[in-house]
A and B are shown apart, each in its own frame.
Chain A
Amino acid sequence: MAIRDILVHLSEDPRNGAKTDMALQIAQRDGAHVTALYTLPPPQHLFYMGEYVPPEFYQRQIDEARAAAKKAKAEFEAAAARQGVVAEWVESERMPVDAIETYGRAFDLLVLGQPDPDPENPVLVPSGMDVLPHDISLRAGRPILAVPYAGSYPVVGRRVMVAWNGSREATRAVHDALPFLTKAEHVTIYCINADRSRGTPGAELARHLARHGVKVEVSNTVVDDIEAGEALLSAVSDRSIDLLVMGAYGHSRLREVVFGGVTETILSSMTVPVLLSN
């Protein structure tokens, strides 16, 4: 399936430019539309000023938020025009997680920012933002492309690595990543403890991907579950990978405690974009 419809989440965030560039880069390659979903920050309530808060205080917050949105919109539209990509702009006052989860269901790919683990002004970060990509990947039913909180990524998807353990989640991720895999120069299936799980062997996946015209190399690794995240991160840097594809694991079941931890480890320390799916 080709990517025709991309959603990028923007907010009062210094990373808007990086996220926009990522979405436009993919849109240009695949001939897709890009829709920006801008979430306005909810007004901050003051708890220390006694009983009366002047209405001007809230009004000023709202005005500032609108001004920031206007500026972001101008920047987004200018960037899209430069790249010749058809772009749309949508604003929402809902909490980012809820807005993206619902609206994102009618898109092929959601481009989100991995939050800065050490933000400049933590008070201004809306709740739920710290686990945004992981959370959305569990709830939207669509693949997420998580952009790291630092750095720029002019090339994404030339050298792709698929983290494979034969699970349902990894199966989802690899199929959602097919539009990237079919265009990649090099694809590695990185099997983690494949012999220990009862899931689908990497060789079977390689056969299947070959049918889709994807040439792959299979690599097998055996590590302690607890070190799976570290092993993955070093494999990514050793092989000059520019896109990592992996399943997103929830937190509810025991099995997922281990892999859910891997998801967070990767997301918080990754240096390349990650395609996440559940």
Chain B
Amino acid sequence: MATAAYRDIAIHLGVDAGSELPAQLGYAAALAAGCEAHLCGLFNRPCLPMIRHYIPPEVIERHKAECERAAVKARQLFDAAAQAEGIATEWYDMPGSALETVLVQARASDLLLLSGVVPGDKTARDYDRETLADEVVLALGRPILLLPGAPKPGLPKTILIGWNGSREAARAVHDAMPLLQRATQVTILCVDPEGQRGLPGAELARHLSRQDVAAELLVHAGRDRDAGSILLQTAQDRKADLLVMGAYGHGRIRETVLGGATAYMLGKMELPVLFSH
């Protein structure tokens, strides 16, 4: 029985959205429909950086036109995705940086969807999506769901929890509760069982059973720095369609999951990751 619920799901859309946007909006709309939540689109129009206090008027005009074009396109795709799922929506079109927009609006939501880095996508000319995800997850106070290029739509059925007994992992698990309660298979993967400070995975399994989540426990006696690749490998083996884990401070999302070969793997696996801090 599901007692936890998301009622407001937000998704950020930037002017730099690439060809993956329709698939991501489709995922967001299906998730909102599955959770009976509202979907809130957050679009931001970034300001031009000042160069010696002067920007030629034609540059400003061009920037404005580009923003307008991107806003219209994003809105159309957003509305189309929402209509396909028949969900209630809201649309915020705000001036300012992506970080400001997200921090102001997404605190009044249950979950924020962000586009991750899509390897090999030449159309995505983002200023730095990894940095955005890093900063948002630390400063928001809500969980974020990082989307790969083309996630498989629908509520996640098989969920993998990356557990090391930390504060952040505890946050991520509890923030993911609405999804855990609706999943058919939940696996707890203990990636740092020898850590002295953390809580053993068995305690988490006991706790989840009280929340009507039956979880299977896997223990991997690996070192902490291998955690990212072990998690992704296990996720692939188990055909998980969601990974839940804590975010541990600046740069760590990038290092553990998005870095180098792992980013490639993420793109291949089409695996969304729920992070919390």
Distance (whole angstroms) from the CB of B39 to the closest CB of chain A: 12
A162 to B139 CA separation, bound complex (whole angstroms): 20
Contact between chains at B108 and A205 (CB < 8 Å): yes
Contact between chains at A106 and B206 (CB < 8 Å): yes
Contact between chains at B7 and A208 (CB < 8 Å): yes
Contact between chains at A211 and B199 (CB < 8 Å): no
Distance (whole angstroms) from the CB of B12 to the closest CB of chain A: 15
Contact bitstring B165-180, A, C-beta under 8 A = 1, else 0: 1111111001001100
Distance (whole angstroms) from the CB of B202 to the closest CB of chain A: 9
Known: A2-B3, A171-B140, A198-B100. A103 touches B199 (CB 8 A): yes
Contact between chains at B38 and A211 (CB < 8 Å): yes
Residues 110-154 (chain A) with a chain B CB within 8 angstroms: 139-142
A235 to B107 CA separation, bound complex (whole angstroms): 24
Pairs of residues from A and B, 7 with the lowest C-beta to C-beta distance, nearest first: A171-B141, A141-B167, A1-B4, A168-B141, A106-B207, A105-B170, A211-B7
B221 CB-CB contact with A under 8 Å:
no
Contact between chains at A140 and B170 (CB < 8 Å): yes
Contact between chains at B171 and A141 (CB < 8 Å): yes
A266 to B170 CA separation, bound complex (whole angstroms): 26
Contact bitstring A89-104, B, C-beta under 8 A = 1, else 0: 0000000000001110
B142 CB-CB contact with A under 8 Å:
yes
Contact between chains at B104 and A200 (CB < 8 Å): yes
Contacts A105-B166, A106-B203, A198-B103 supplied; 6 other A-B pairs, CB < 8 Å: A1-B211, A2-B4, A105-B199, A167-B141, A175-B110, A208-B7
Interface residues, chain A, with chain B CB atoms under 8 Å away = 1-2, 4-5, 32-33, 101-103, 105-108, 139-142, 166-172, 175, 198-201, 204-205, 207-208, 211-212
Residues 17-67 (chain B) with a chain A CB within 8 angstroms: 37-38
Nearest residue (CB) in B for A211 is B7
Nearest residue (CB) in A for B88 is A211
A179 to B7 CA separation, bound complex (whole angstroms): 14
Known: A105-B165, A172-B141. A166 touches B4 (CB 8 A): no
Chain A contacts of B108 at CB under 8 A?
A: 200, 204-205, 207-208
Show 24 A/B contacts (Cβ-Cβ < 8 Å), sorted by A: A1-B4, A1-B5, A2-B3, A4-B3, A4-B210, A5-B210, A33-B210, A102-B165, A106-B170, A107-B207, A108-B211, A141-B167, A141-B168, A141-B171, A141-B174, A168-B140, A168-B141, A171-B107, A175-B141, A199-B103, A199-B107, A200-B104, A201-B104, A207-B108
B122 CB-CB contact with A under 8 Å:
no
Q: Among the listed B104, B170, B177, which residue makes an inter-chain contact with A142, where contact means beta carbons less than 8 Å apart?
A: B170
Chain A contacts of B185 at CB under 8 A?
A: none
B249 CB-CB contact with A under 8 Å:
no
A107 to B210 CA separation, bound complex (whole angstroms): 10
Q: Among the listed A33, A167, A168, A200, which residue makes an inter-chain contact with B105, where contact means beta carbons less than 8 Å apart?
A: A200
Nearest residue (CB) in A for B110 is A175
Contact between chains at A200 and B8 (CB < 8 Å): no
Interface residues, chain B, with chain A CB atoms under 8 Å away = 3-5, 7-8, 37-38, 100, 103-105, 107-110, 139-142, 165-171, 174, 177-178, 197-199, 203-204, 206-207, 210-211
Chain A contacts of B167 at CB under 8 A?
A: 101, 105, 139-141
Distance (whole angstroms) from the CB of A175 to the closest CB of chain B: 7
Nearest residue (CB) in A for B109 is A208
Distance (whole angstroms) from the CB of A262 to the closest CB of chain B: 17
Contact between chains at A106 and B204 (CB < 8 Å): yes
Contact between chains at B141 and A102 (CB < 8 Å): no
Contact between chains at B8 and A211 (CB < 8 Å): yes
Nearest residue (CB) in B for A205 is B108
Distance (whole angstroms) from the CB of A123 to the closest CB of chain B: 28
Q: Among the listed A103, A169, A211, which residue makes an inter-chain contact with B203, where contact means beta carbons less than 8 Å apart?
A: A103
A33 to B207 CA separation, bound complex (whole angstroms): 10
A2 to B5 CA separation, bound complex (whole angstroms): 10
Distance (whole angstroms) from the CB of B176 to the closest CB of chain A: 11
Chain B contacts of A139 at CB under 8 A?
A: 167
Nearest residue (CB) in B for A106 is B207
Chain A contacts of B5 at CB under 8 A?
A: 1, 212
